[in-house]
Amino acid sequence: MITFWTGRRPTIWICDAWAANDLLDKRAAIYASRPRMVVFSELGAGQSNLVNMYYGDRWRLHRKLTHMGVGLQQVRKYRDFQNDESKLVAFELLSEPKEYVRHFERYATSVVSIIGFGRRVASYSDPIITEVIAVMQRAAELNVPGKTFPMLMESFPFLAKFPNWMAPWKQGLGKGQGRGRPFFYALAEEAATNPNTQQCYMKKIFEEAPKHNLSRMEISSLSGNLFGAGSDTSSSTLITFVLACCAFPETLSKAWEELDRVVGPHRSPTFQDEPNLPYIKAFVKEVLRWRSVAVIGGQPHAPIKDDHYKGWLIPRDTWVQGNVWAIHHHEREFPDPDRFHPERYIEDSPYARPFPGEKGYMTFGWGRRVCSGQGLAEQGTFITIARLLWGFKIEKALDGEGKEIPVNIFDYT
């Protein structure tokens, strides 16, 4: 654990899996809140967004409403169309393999759009993809401490008090400035009011809105969070999968052998095959560990009261941030951590090491602030990776002379 001071504000970085489990999982009730966040909260959606909310009754309500869409009990109902969309990805890759990134973005956005708004995204040129990706990338940039100038406002909050016209560091931040809020509300309203739209998550939210006095901002946040929970994580993970296949082709032969034995050549994998595909499941887990989407574990946690851990005082409301990159690249749990090695997740393998929790990775966060879309992302990632491994031989691109173009596993974010 490291305490990093920026001005007068300390941030505690947890770089160890066992410490993260002790504090953020086992003491989840204490570390369930958020600290004061100027950029993401006060200049953003404030306490209208589950991601920013302090722990309390309103947070519990929003968590409940979110689980109506992507809770673990709900996502199993989505397997049929996730399966269909992953088949379409495979078909698209046959015709346009160079556009694999855009195909993955279409797939992930379409799954979320069906759940939330009752409409498919049929083409990667659909403007909904462009807007969603732009908003998510902007949020990701602002979430990395020190990466962008606006984050200085977290250490020096007085900078946020300057009017926008004389504060270039605010860069479009501020109430009503975000491009995503009207966009996500419009999507939700259209889905809820269109009589031709099938039953979907946003119809349920608009039915619940009067009962809970939900504001337009809250509805917009619930709509946007759906994409954050299931779209960006899924597409980015599939891109990582392609990189792993190109950089470590020696891992593919075991995957093909297992798929040939369990599935065969005359059909593609299904969810029913999952219990019989231990190496494919390990492959998926290693993708999630090797290059995790959220390298710092999302937004910071904050204890609701003073806490002590191994002699250290962690004051109430302190920024507590899990360093997922450090956790997933610790030599103790993952020897030679930059090597893609699915055997780490095979039971009784000599490469397996003890790790807290059942998953073997901490990609989706911890405790009561764990990513709501974890189940959806894991489910879709499994079926898509299994199908692509079954149907394709993914290799490095070739140059004009027919030679493989090397890939750099560190030249990727």
Q: Which residues are annotated as a binding site?
A: 371
Distance between CA atoms of residues 397 and 413, nearest Å: 19
Binding residues for heme: 371
Tokens of 144: 């990395």
* Cα–Cα distance, 215 to 210 (Å, whole number): 9
Q: Which two tokens stand for residue 31?
A: 């570390």
Q: Could you tell me the strand order of the sheet in which 9-14 lies?
A: 2-6, 9-14, 319-322
Neighbours of 112 (CB within 10 A): 27
Provide DSSP, 68-86: HHHSHHHHGGGHHHHHHHH
- Conformation bin of residue 407: beta by default, left when phi > 0, alpha when psi is -120 to 50: beta
Half-sphere exposure of 268 (CA within 13 A, CB side): 19
- Bridge partner residues of 404 (DSSP): 398
- What are the φ/ψ torsions at residue 236 (nearest 5 degrees)? -65, -40
